[in-house]
């Protein structure tokens, strides 16, 4: 089984939060802010008005309060509309 988004929706898997700061301080899990960076897992077909601009495997930055969290096969995903993606992270 797999998740297949409809319309202009995208399925994201959130990247892990950093557990230490750049200076080496270890952060408690309660003080860590949820990262807004995620990997694209699946992309819907788009609509007549919306052409899909992201593809599977890309890393993206998304709006902080966007989407719906879904647990599927024991893994947590976020389903959002493409317009809630703010940027693509390029290496």
DSSP 13: E
- Average pLDDT of 4-15? 95
Per the CB < 8 A criterion, the answer to whether 22 and 54 are in contact is no
Structural domain tally of the chain? Answer: 1
* pLDDT on residue 1: 77
Token pair for residue 83? 């317009």
User: Considering the domain boundaries, does residue 4 fall inside one?
Assistant: no
pTM of the model: 0.80
User: Considering the domain boundaries, does residue 13 fall inside one?
Assistant: yes
* pLDDT on residue 90: 92
User: Considering the domain boundaries, does residue 1 fall inside one?
Assistant: no
User: Considering the domain boundaries, does residue 39 fall inside one?
Assistant: yes
User: Considering the domain boundaries, does residue 3 fall inside one?
Assistant: no
Range of the domain at 42: 9-17+27-89
* pLDDT on residue 91: 79
CATH code of the domain containing 37: 2.30.33.40
* pLDDT on residue 72: 93
Token pair for residue 51? 């052409």
User: Considering the domain boundaries, does residue 47 fall inside one?
Assistant: yes
DSSP 23: T
Convert the pLDDT of each residue in 12-63 to its tens digit. 998 876 566 667 776 665 554 566 899 999 999 999 999 999 999 999 999 9
């Amino acid at each position: 089984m797999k998740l297949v988004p409809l319309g202009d929706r995208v399925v994201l898997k959130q990247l892990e939060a950093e557990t230490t700061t750049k200076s080496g301080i270890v952060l408690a899990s309660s003080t860590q802010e949820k990262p807004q960076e995620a990997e694209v897992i699946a992309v819907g077909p788009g609509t007549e008005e919306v052409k899909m601009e992201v593809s599977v495997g890309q890393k993206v930055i998304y709006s902080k309060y966007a989407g719906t969290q879904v647990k599927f096969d024991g893994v947590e995903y976020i389903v959002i509309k493409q317009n809630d993606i703010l940027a693509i992270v390029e290496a």
